[in-house]
Structure 1
Amino acid sequence: MRADAVRGHLDGLLLAVLEPGPLHGYAIITAVQQRSGGVLDLRTGTIYPALNRLERIGLLSSSWDSVGERRRRCYELTDAGREGLAGERAAWREFTAAIGSVLNPAPVRPGTAT
């Protein structure tokens, strides 16, 4: 899939994979890849600026977690993030319905006006 196909939908993807609970960056990338059946392969250079932006606008919160000697930042949805995810889902349904109507129009029955 083309990388630009994700553009405009990245926020929704990130919010959706964080809905079940907190994850660190690499786990977020892995979750998107697994949920998409390997079709979507996000890069760290794409995901971390988006996570930081979503945190800055209040849709995510983060905290540091230690695993052995390694520290990693874990992200989770805020209440505003849950509302934002609901909005992203509604916008996605509207978008896919509109595109579907154009790409797969309903057949016109004989005798009906077009």
Structure 2
Amino acid sequence: MDIQIKRGILDICVLAALQTEDSYGYKIIKDVPQELGLSESTLYPILKRLEGAGCVTVYSVEHAGRLRKYYRITSAGRARIQDFLAEWTDMVEVYEFIRKGAAQ
């Protein structure tokens, strides 16, 4: 998969993992489809980028004597998911056009 496409999809998948509840790094990695190959070294730069863009906020909670960072999706993050889904619908139409041409 093209690295730029994968990067955009990973950003959206991380946001999607936060739609139902706030979460922390390890759990986000487990929640995102394994096929995308999300690792700690990939996740934390994504979370930092999403925080900088105003798509997530961060807070800490004590867990087993240590502080654990939790991430919460913002309204901007939810809007980014909706924008992606609208663009993806257009891309599916392009995909179908290309696939039909390749099948001939």
TM-score when scaled to structure 2?
A: 0.84
Q: What TM-score do the two structures reach when normalised by structure 1?
A: 0.77
Q: Pairwise CA RMSD of aligned residues?
A: 2.1
What amino acid is aligned across from residue 39 of structure 1 in structure 2?
A: E
Decide which structure has the larger Cα Rg and report it.
Answer: 1
Instruction: Give the aligned partner of residue 85 of structure 1.
Output: 81
Residues 94, 39 of structure 1: alpha-carbon distance in 2 compared, 3 angstrom cutoff: same
Gaps of at least 5 residues in structure 1 are 109-114
Q: CA deviation at 1:7?
A: 2.6
Contact 1:12 1:89 in 2 (8 A): no
The ranges of structure 1 where at least 4 consecutive aligned residues each deviate by more than 6 angstroms after the TM superposition are none
When residues 3 and 17 of structure 1 are mapped into structure 2, their CA distance, relative to the original with a 3 A threshold, is farther
Counterpart in the other structure of 1:41: 37
Identical columns (%): 30
2:63 equivalent to 1:67:
yes
Q: Decide whether the 8 Å contact of 2:58 with 2:69 is kept in 1.
A: yes
Q: Deviations over 1:58-83 (max 9, x none)?
A: 11011012211122111011111111
More helix by share: 2
